[in-house]
C-alpha cells in the first residue's frame, strides 16, 4: 500500500555547529529501524566526529564542499569535492540557474534542462508537490522533459516536449483545466499540440500548432474571449473568437488579455474600465470579444488594469490605470489609448505584473516602472512608486512580479529575487530583501 508521509520530523544533530536533520523515513518519523531517509542541512564550517552507522548509509550532497578524512595504514588521508547545485549554478557556483522563470502571486518556478523546481507558497498546490504548504528552497516538480513554464496568481502550467499541457495549483475557476478543487501535482489538460502558454490571475490560455488559441478558467470580465462574460468555473479549453489565430504572442492578466498576430496587429479583450484595452473609449466596460488596437506592435505585456506594448523600433507605449506609475509616466487620469512613454530606452522584451512594467534591453539590463512595495524592484520601498523606467537589474533579461516580490534572471542564468517573501518567495530563509540576490538551490 502507498503511504503518504505528510511531513518530516526535524531535530538537531551532532556536529560543530550542529546540523538540522529532517527525517522522512526512520525510527522517529515512521518507526522504521532498518532504513533512514532524511534531509540534512549543515551550516558553513560544519564537521562531526567519525562514526560507523548500524545500517547502509548513502549520502547525496546537493550543494557545498564535502571533505572526508580517514586513516589508511596509520596515515591520514583526505578527499575533497565541490558539488554544483541544480541548474549548474552561476559563474561562481552560487545560486539557482535557469533558462526560464515563472512568477505567481506568492510562488515562483524555474525551468532548467527539462526540469522544473518551485518555491514559495504552496497552499493551493501551486508548487506541484502534494501536501507541501510552503518552501523557501526550490523543490522538484514531478516529471521531466518540460520545455516551458508559466504562472498565474495561484496556479502553474507547463508544456512537455510532446506538446502536452499540464497544470497544477488553484483550480476554483477551472484554470487548471479540471473540475473540482486544487490540483496538487501536474495533471494533463485536454488540449494537444500546445506550443505557447500565458497565464494571469485565474485564467490560462494556450496556443496550439494549428494556430488556434484556447483559454479556460475565470471569465467574469470576458477574459476568455468567448463573446460573453459570466462568473463561474470554465475548465474546458475553447477557442478565442475574433480572429485570434496563427503564430500568436499572448499576454494574460487577471481581467483582460491581449494577443499580437503574425503581422503585428494587436487585439485585446476583457475589462476596459480603466482603458486597459486601448480602445480610446471612456467607460469601455467589458469587451468579451477581441478588439483591435491601432498600430503595429512587436511585444505586449498585460497587468491588472494596464497594458504596455513595444512598437517596431522597441519604443514602449502604455495605457490604462496610471495610479502607481506602471505606465512609465506621471499622469492623473486613465489613459485609454496607446501613449508614447517619454524615454530614450528601447527594449526587446516587456514584462508586466499586477501594477508594474519592466523592459529588457538588447544587451541585457532591466528597467522598471510602477509600485515598488516590499522593495521588489531592488530598492527600498520608502522611495514609493517609480513613475519612470529606472534601472532595476544590470544584465537582467527576464523578470516576473509577485505581490510583494520579484524574481529575475540574467548574467549566468542565475535566478535572483528581491522584495518581501515571508513564505519563502525569495528562495531563501530571508523574509525581506530590497536588493536582488541569488535563489539558493
Judgement on whether residues 255 and 314 belong to the same structural domain of the protein: no
pLDDT over 80 at 253, yes or no: yes
User: pLDDT-derived band of residue 316, with 50, 70 and 90 as boundaries?
Assistant: very high
pLDDT over 90 at 7, yes or no: no
Q: For 87-138, what is each residue's pLDDT tens digit?
A: 445 444 479 999 999 999 999 999 999 999 999 999 999 999 999 999 999 9
Does residue 272 fall inside a structural domain?
yes
More confident residue, 423 or 94: 423
The mean-pLDDT minimum among 283-287, 337-341, 370-374 falls in 283-287
pLDDT at 441: 87
Q: In CATH, what number is assigned to the domain containing residue 123?
A: 2.130.10.30
pLDDT over 60 at 8, yes or no: yes
pLDDT at 167: 98
Q: For 44-75, what is each residue's pLDDT tens digit?
A: 444 665 555 555 565 555 444 445 444 545 55
Residues 317, 338: Cα–Cα separation, whole Å: 6
Q: For 167-205, what is each residue's pLDDT tens digit?
A: 999 999 999 999 999 999 999 999 999 999 999 999 999
DSSP secondary structure, 236-250, as one string: S-EE-SSS--SS-EE
pLDDT over 60 at 318, yes or no: yes
pLDDT at 52: 55
Does residue 88 fall inside a structural domain?
no
The pair phi, psi for residue 283, each rounded to 5°, is 60, 50
The mean-pLDDT minimum among 18-27, 46-55, 374-383 falls in 46-55
Question: Could you list the residue range(s) of the whole structural domain that residue 330 is in?
Answer: 308-441
User: pLDDT-derived band of residue 284, with 50, 70 and 90 as boundaries?
Assistant: confident
pLDDT at 266: 98
User: pLDDT-derived band of residue 277, with 50, 70 and 90 as boundaries?
Assistant: very high
User: pLDDT-derived band of residue 22, with 50, 70 and 90 as boundaries?
Assistant: low
Residues 177, 388: Cα–Cα separation, whole Å: 38
Judgement on whether residues 175 and 56 belong to the same structural domain of the protein: no
Give the residue from 387, 385, 389, 302 showing the smallest Cα distance to 347.
Answer: 389
Average pLDDT (339-365) is 97
| Cβ contact 377:389 at 8 Å | no
Judgement on whether residues 166 and 224 belong to the same structural domain of the protein: yes
Average pLDDT (253-281) is 97
Residues 325, 320: Cα–Cα separation, whole Å: 11
Judgement on whether residues 261 and 315 belong to the same structural domain of the protein: no
Residues 248, 119: Cα–Cα separation, whole Å: 30
Does residue 224 fall inside a structural domain?
yes
Instruction: Specify the number of domains making up the chain.
Output: 3
pLDDT at 85: 41
Judgement on whether residues 337 and 256 belong to the same structural domain of the protein: no
Judgement on whether residues 123 and 215 belong to the same structural domain of the protein: yes
Judgement on whether residues 141 and 266 belong to the same structural domain of the protein: yes
User: Could you tell me what percent of the chain has a pLDDT over 90?
Assistant: 76
Judgement on whether residues 156 and 19 belong to the same structural domain of the protein: no
User: Could you tell me what percent of the chain has a pLDDT over 70?
Assistant: 80
Give the residue from 117, 112, 188, 181 showing the smallest Cα distance to 151.
Answer: 117
Average pLDDT (307-332) is 97
| Cβ contact 98:415 at 8 Å | yes
pLDDT at 303: 98
More confident residue, 425 or 15: 425
Judgement on whether residues 54 and 9 belong to the same structural domain of the protein: yes
Judgement on whether residues 425 and 368 belong to the same structural domain of the protein: yes
pLDDT over 60 at 11, yes or no: no
Residues 309, 53: Cα–Cα separation, whole Å: 62
User: pLDDT-derived band of residue 82, with 50, 70 and 90 as boundaries?
Assistant: very low
Amino acid at each position: 500500500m502507498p503511504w503518504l508521509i505528510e511531513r518530516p520530523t526535524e531535530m538537531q544533530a551532532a556536529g560543530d555547529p550542529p546540523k538540522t536533520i529532517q527525517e522522512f523515513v526512520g525510527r522517529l518519523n515512521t518507526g522504521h529501524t532498518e532504513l533512514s531517509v532524511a534531509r540534512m542541512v549543515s551550516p558553513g564550517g560544519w564537521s562531526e566526529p567519525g562514526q560507523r552507522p548500524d545500517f547502509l548509509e548513502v549520502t547525496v550532497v546537493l550543494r557545498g564542499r564535502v571533505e572526508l578524512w580517514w586513516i589508511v595504514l596509520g596515515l591520514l588521508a583526505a578527499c575533497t569535492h565541490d558539488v554544483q547545485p541544480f541548474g549548474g549554478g552561476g559563474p561562481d557556483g552560487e545560486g539557482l540557474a535557469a533558462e526560464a522563470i515563472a512568477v505567481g502571486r506568492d510562488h515562483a518556478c524555474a525551468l532548467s534542462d527539462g526540469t522544473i523546481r518551485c518555491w514559495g507558497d504552496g497552499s493551493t498546490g501551486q508548487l506541484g508537490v502534494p501536501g507541501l504548504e510552503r518552501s523557501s528552497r526550490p523543490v522538484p516538480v514531478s516529471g521531466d522533459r518540460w520545455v516551458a513554464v508559466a504562472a498565474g496568481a495561484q496556479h502553474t502550467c507547463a508544456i512537455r516536449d510532446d506538446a502536452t499541457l499540464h497544470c497544477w495549483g488553484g483550480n476554483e475557476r477551472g484554470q487548471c483545466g479540471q473540475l473540482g478543487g486544487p490540483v496538487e501535482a501536474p495533471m494533463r489538460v485536454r488540449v494537444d499540440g500546445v506550443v505557447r502558454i500565458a497565464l494571469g490571475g485565474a485564467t490560462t490560455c494556450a496556443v496550439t500548432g494549428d494556430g488556434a488559441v484556447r483559454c479556460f478558467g475565470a471569465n467574469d470580465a470576458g477574459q476568455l474571449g468567448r463573446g460573453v462574460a459570466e462568473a463561474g468555473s470554465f475548465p474546458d479549453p475553447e477557442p478565442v473568437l475574433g480572429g485570434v489565430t496563427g503564430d500568436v504572442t499572448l499576454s494574460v492578466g487577471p481581467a483582460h488579455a491581449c494577443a499580437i498576430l503574425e503581422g503585428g496587429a494587436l487585439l485585446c479583450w476583457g475589462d476596459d474600465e480603466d482603458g486597459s484595452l486601448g480602445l480610446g473609449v471612456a467607460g469601455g466596460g467589458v469587451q468579451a470579444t477581441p478588439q483591435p488596437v491601432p498600430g503595429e506592435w512587436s511585444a505586449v505585456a498585460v497587468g491588472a488594469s494596464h497594458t504596455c506594448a513595444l512598437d517596431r523600433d522597441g519604443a514602449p507605449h502604455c495605457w490604462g490605470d496610471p495610479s502607481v506609475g506602471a505606465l512609465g509616466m506621471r499622469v492623473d487620469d486613465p489613459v485609454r489609448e496607446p501613449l508614447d512613454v517619454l524615454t530614450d530606452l528601447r527594449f526587446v522584451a516587456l514584462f508586466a505584473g499586477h501594477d508594474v512594467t519592466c523592459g529588457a534591453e538588447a544587451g541585457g539590463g532591466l528597467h522598471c516602472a510602477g509600485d515598488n512595495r516590499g522593495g521588489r524592484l531592488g530598492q527600498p520601498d520608502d522611495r514609493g512608486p517609480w513613475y519612470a523606467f529606472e534601472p532595476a537589474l544590470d544584465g537582467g533579461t527576464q523578470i516576473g512580479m509577485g505581490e510583494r516580490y520579484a524574481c529575475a534572471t540574467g548574467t549566468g542564468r542565475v535566478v535572483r529575487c528581491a522584495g518581501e517573501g515571508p513564505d519563502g518567495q525569495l528562495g531563501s530563509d530571508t523574509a525581506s530583501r530590497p536588493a536582488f540576490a541569488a535563489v539558493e538551490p
